[in-house]
């Protein structure tokens, strides 16, 4: 054992090689020094380098308990008289880093250093100087090396300062961390698709799946939304209202083997409450410029709102919405089908007042209406399913109203019709008025089961109008003829076995016949013209009518921006996110001066269809804009130190907030900003003193804005030039004052001054007796 020192880790306390340990945990390393008598010092070195003997980041404290001693600190400690003990073991507890990774640990020791000194040697010599013990030189004589020929060939031994254990590799890992962030403990949950948000992360692996369950039920998969946030839509239906349920989330990583972690919390099942929506930053009834931009913000929250699925602004001018109206609603449904009797029969009639302007009392009936010609005989019978008009409808169309004409043999003509008066509300203006109905026209012999066809003109007629505008015939899809007026259908039944009946569905636009809001009248009837020869009692016409409808499409003011059918409606971008959610957007108001805009926000949350809506805000639009004109600088040129006046005219329908002039020299190199003050009548002015400025061309940009946020900027609206300023002197003199013919005269100037800062320069002219 003493042949060579060595260090070893134990196999019980010390983590096994390639162990996995969680970040931040502690590990204990236990090691022993052997192959020596004394352990002078020992410690553990470690770090992320696989060779911690030479490269390490951390060390444990160095243990020097046995330094300088003859024995101790090794596996031989405590041995005596042939008996051994467990010897000396060293231990250190290390807290692992919070950063995952691979870490390497090694124990090192220095041994038997006392035996390399003269201490205790009776001869006074150092053992390593003359000792024959190579193993002593190997551990206590620095620089020693020796190569010998042994039984195994050449063997080299060298001094070694430290002796090392095997390297222990430990993989520091981070298990997944999972937390349910929403709903919080005790929160209200509800519905079939409630969002549960889970934060799941893993420092050294990837989260591969997150799932959520309620009260140990089926796991619902979550989807990654962003970063470490996952969301699952959970079904809370079927749980008792007000009951507490346990929501559990789990995540799985891609470690080998995979690691699963759980998190849970208790929540309360309660009914869904729609979100609250508030538009902020606006004043109701505020005035804005048409076509301008408007910053808008709104808030979505609620005691049971967790995630806002969709929210946005809507706005409309509200004054041009298509609004269908069915004015026959009050007379038995829309359309009138005559399939169910009302409180006064199919007609809801209090009296029979046929004709436009005769009264709003339901269905009326009358004969001899002048269709084709004035009646010459009474042949008309009115029928309806209840018999209110005199008889019940024939079985061929039992749920219809019927005009039957025939039964004489006197070669006569007769006409008859049902009619109703109703009110048309034109609102802000009509878009269309349409009359629709179904009709059937039968040769009367077919209804009665006879064989001799009616070989005479038969008509189905319809008229529409008012007492003030008169009645107009309506043209249907059937054949036309027989008279000059329009028909629904005109026909005769030939004696050769031709058709005995016709039918059709009409949708007739009568918009041009409606002058505006008021009472109007509809007639549906028939004519049998037997004024020729050979009329028989079975001949005639039976006309049936059903599914009668009048549809009025009109313009109407609708201030609800969420209502369907707006001609002009706009919306902002869609926003979403956890509640409470504050959203903002800059919208462009329509260029509709004089109109009012109606703005509101809506929101849906937590997978529910029931949305919340804000109050409707009104914004009045006015004409706007800012105009800058007549820009000038006076004077246009001047020397350094000149005071320049800068002017411009500014016009706007709204109050002006500020007018600025930006001086630049050279162009686009700002020098100063000058605020121009109002002189009245839209004129703005400011001054600038050019003292100390350089001779050059100066450029002026202009900017103006108003209280509505509108503005205009004009680049290089004016220019001016600073030119050279003449210098000045205070005096000039000639010396000497008295001179002789041979005297040299000297002239000098004094008091040089130049506003441009130029260096003095002089030119001289000499005068004698006033002449140059």
Same domain (yes/no): 584, 549: no
pLDDT value of position 347? 52
Would you say residue 329 has pLDDT above 50? Answer: no
- Whether residue 31 lies inside any domain: the answer is yes
Domains of the chain: total: 6
Radius of gyration, CA atoms only, the chain = 55
pLDDT value of position 360? 74
pLDDT value of position 121? 56
- Whether residue 1 lies inside any domain: the answer is no
Three-state DSSP class for 176?
coil
Of residues 672 and 267, more confidence is placed in 672
Same domain (yes/no): 295, 253: no
Of the residues 539, 556, 573, the one at which a domain ends: 556
Query: H or E segment at 748?
Result: strand 746-750
Same domain (yes/no): 411, 353: yes
Same domain (yes/no): 413, 380: yes
Would you say residue 311 has pLDDT above 50? Answer: yes
Q: What share of the chain is helix, strand, coil (3-state, %, to 5)?
A: 5, 50, 45
- Whether residue 87 lies inside any domain: the answer is yes
Quick one: what percent of the chain has pLDDT higher than 70? 93
Same domain (yes/no): 159, 190: no
Cβ burial, residue 555 (10 Å; 0-12/13-18/19+): middle
- Whether residue 449 lies inside any domain: the answer is yes
Same domain (yes/no): 335, 483: yes
Same domain (yes/no): 676, 530: no
Of residues 360 and 672, more confidence is placed in 672
Closest CA to 465 of 495, 431, 510: 510
Closest CA to 196 of 215, 211, 209, 206: 211
Q: 124-133, 220-229, 748-757: which has the minimum mean pLDDT?
A: 124-133
Phi then psi dihedrals of residue 130, to 5 deg: -125, 5
Same domain (yes/no): 494, 350: yes
DSSP 109-120: EEE--GGGSSTT
Q: What is the pLDDT of residues 631-674, one digit of tens each?
A: 999 999 998 889 999 999 998 877 899 999 999 999 989 999 99
- Whether residue 57 lies inside any domain: the answer is yes
- Whether residue 342 lies inside any domain: the answer is yes
- CATH code (residue 236): 2.60.40.10
The domain of 599 spans: 277-319+558-622
Same domain (yes/no): 194, 340: no
CA torsion sign for 63, 65, 70, 76 is negative
- The band of 325, judged by pLDDT with boundaries at 50, 70 and 90, is low
- CATH code (residue 303): 2.70.50.50
Tokens linked to 511: 């918009």
- Whether residue 212 lies inside any domain: the answer is yes
pTM given for the model = 0.42
Would you say residue 221 has pLDDT above 90? Answer: yes
Q: What is the pLDDT of residues 589-628, one digit of tens each?
A: 998 888 889 999 999 987 877 889 999 999 988 777 788 9
Phi then psi dihedrals of residue 430, to 5 deg: -80, 145
- Whether residue 502 lies inside any domain: the answer is yes
Stretch 717-724: mean pLDDT: 93
Distances (CA, A) of 300 to 309, 394, 604: 11, 63, 9
Same domain (yes/no): 614, 663: no
Q: What is the pLDDT of residues 537-586, one digit of tens each?
A: 999 999 999 888 888 887 777 788 888 767 788 999 999 999 999 999 99
Of the residues 171, 191, 226, the one at which a domain ends: 171
Of residues 523 and 319, more confidence is placed in 523
Closest CA to 9 of 44, 36, 39: 44
Three-state DSSP class for 85?
coil
Of the residues 155, 171, 187, the one at which a domain ends: 171
Same domain (yes/no): 334, 412: yes
Contact present, 453 and 494 (Cβ < 8 Å): yes
Same domain (yes/no): 418, 505: yes
């Amino acid at each position: 054992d003493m042949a060579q020192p060595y260090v070893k880790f134990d196999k019980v306390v010390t983590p096994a090689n390639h162990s996995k340990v969680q970040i931040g945990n502690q590990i204990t390393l236990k090691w022993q020094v052997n192959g020596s008598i004394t352990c002078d010092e020992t410690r553990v070195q470690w770090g992320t380098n696989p060779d911690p003997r030479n490269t390490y980041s951390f060390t444990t404290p160095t243990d020097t308990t046995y330094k300088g001693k003859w024995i101790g600190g090794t596996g031989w400690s405590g041995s005596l008289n042939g008996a051994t003990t467990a010897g000396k073991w060293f231990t250190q507890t290390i807290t692992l880093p919070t950063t995952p990774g691979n870490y390497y640990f090694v124990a090192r020791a220095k041994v038997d250093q006392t035996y390399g000194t003269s201490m205790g040697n009776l001869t006074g010599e150092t053992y390593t100087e003359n000792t024959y013990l190579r193993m002593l030189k190997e551990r206590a004589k620095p620089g020693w090396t020796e190569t010998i020929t042994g039984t195994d060939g050449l063997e080299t031994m060298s001094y070694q300062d430290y002796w090392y254990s095997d390297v222990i590799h430990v993989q520091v890992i981070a298990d997944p961390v999972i937390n349910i962030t929403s709903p919080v403990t005790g929160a209200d949950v509800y519905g079939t698709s409630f969002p549960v948000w889970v934060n799941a992360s893993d420092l050294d692996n990837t989260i591969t799946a997150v799932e959520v369950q309620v009260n140990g039920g089926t796991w619902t998969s979550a989807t990654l939304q962003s970063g470490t946030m996952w969301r699952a839509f959970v079904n809370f239906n079927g749980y008792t209202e007000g009951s507490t349920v346990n929501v559990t989330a789990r995540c799985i990583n891609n470690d080998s083997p995979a690691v699963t972690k759980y998190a849970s919390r208790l929540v309360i099942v309660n009914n869904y409450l729609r979100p609250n929506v508030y538009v902020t930053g606006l004043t109701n009834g505020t005035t804005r410029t048409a076509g301008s931009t408007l910053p808008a913000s709104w808030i979505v929250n609620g005691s049971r709102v967790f995630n806002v699925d969709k929210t946005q602004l809507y706005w409309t001018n509200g004054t041009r919405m298509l609004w269908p109206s069915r004015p026959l609603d009050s007379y038995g449904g829309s359309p009138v089908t005559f399939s169910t009797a009302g409180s006064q029969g199919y007609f809801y009639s209090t009296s029979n007042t046929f004709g436009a302007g005769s009264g709003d009392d339901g269905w009326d009936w009358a004969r001899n209406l002048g269709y084709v010609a004035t009646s010459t005989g009474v042949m008309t019978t009115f029928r309806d399913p209840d018999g209110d008009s005199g008889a019940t409808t024939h079985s061929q169309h039992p749920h219809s109203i019927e005009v039957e004409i025939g039964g004489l043999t006197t070669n006569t003509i007769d006409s008859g019709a049902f009619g109703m008066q109703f009110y048309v509300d034109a609102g802000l203006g009509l878009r269309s008025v349409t009359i629709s109905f179904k009709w059937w026209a039968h040769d009367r012999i077919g209804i009665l089961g006879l064989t001799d066809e009616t070989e005479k003109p038969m008509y189905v007629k319809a008229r529409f109008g008012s007492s003030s505008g008169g009645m107009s015939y309506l043209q249907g899809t059937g054949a036309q003829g027989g008279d000059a007026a329009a028909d629904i259908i005109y026909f005769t039944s030939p004696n050769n076995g031709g058709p005995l009946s016709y039918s059709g569905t009409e949708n007739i636009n009568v918009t041009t016949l409606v002058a505006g809001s008021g009472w109007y009248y509809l007639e549906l009837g028939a004519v049998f013209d037997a004024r020729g020869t050979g009329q028989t009692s079975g001949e005639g016409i039976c006309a049936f009518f059903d599914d009668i409808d009048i549809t009025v499409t009109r313009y109407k003011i609708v201030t609800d921006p969420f209502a369907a059918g707006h001609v002009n409606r706009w919306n902002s971008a869609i926003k979403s996110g956890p509640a409470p959610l504050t959203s903002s957007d800059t919208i462009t108001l329509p260029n509709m001066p004089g109109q009012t805009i109606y703005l509101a926000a809506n929101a849906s949350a937590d997978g529910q269809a029931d949305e919340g809506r804000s109050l409707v805000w009104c914004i009045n639009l006015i004409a706007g804009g800012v105009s800058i004109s007549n820009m000038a600088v006076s004077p246009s040129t001047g020397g350094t130190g000149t005071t320049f006046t800068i002017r411009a005219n500014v016009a706007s329908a709204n109050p002006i907030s500020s007018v600025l002039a930006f001086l630049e020299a050279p162009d686009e190199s700002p020098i100063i900003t000058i605020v121009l003050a109002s002189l009245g009548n839209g004129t703005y002015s400011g001054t600038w003193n050019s003292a100390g400025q350089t001779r050059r061309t100066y450029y002026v940009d202009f900017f103006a804005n108003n209280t509505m946020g509108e503005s205009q900027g004009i680049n290089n609206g004016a220019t001016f030039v600073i030119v050279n300023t003449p210098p000045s002197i205070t005096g000039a003199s000639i010396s000497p004052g008295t001179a002789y013919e041979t005297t040299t005269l000297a002239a000098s100037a004094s008091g040089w001054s130049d506003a441009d800062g130029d260096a003095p320069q002089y030119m001289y002219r000499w005068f004698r007796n006033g002449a140059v």
